[in-house]
Amino acid sequence: QSVVTQPPSASGTPGQRVTISCSGSSSNIGSNAVNWYQQFQGLAPKLLIHNNNQRPSGVPDRFSGSKSGTSASLAISGLQSEDEADYYCASWDDSLDDYVFGTGTKVTVL
């Protein structure tokens, strides 16, 4: 089981704001950058947010990331039907010397 936990699911109607939490510890999120990935069914993940709150080129600005202490969050504002996907946070863990992914959150657009 992962040392970084996320809620298994989140949902919202089109246009709403959805927030996904990512809870870790001092050895991972508390001391390293958090990255977020978006994965559609049957496809490879895509980098959505890096270094806590930086968007790669081409990622819409309705996706935003933040970090505080040993937790991080991904917010999707103005939710759209094409945002329906799985989302994973990830960070290095200094104690394990491993890169750890969160448990993943499935976002459903109602």
Residues at the site binding another protein, with contacts judged by CB under 8 A? 2, 32-33, 35, 37, 39, 44-47, 50-51, 54, 56, 88, 90-92, 96-104
Least CB distance to another protein at residue 74 (A):
14
Q: Give the SS3 label for residue 42.
A: coil
Least CB distance to another protein at residue 68 (A):
18
Closer residue to another protein (CB): 78 or 94: 94
3-state helix, strand, coil in the chain (%, to 5): 5, 45, 50
Amino acid of residue 85: A
Least CB distance to another protein at residue 103 (A):
6
For residue 16, which of 88, 80, 69, 64 has the smallest C-alpha distance?
80
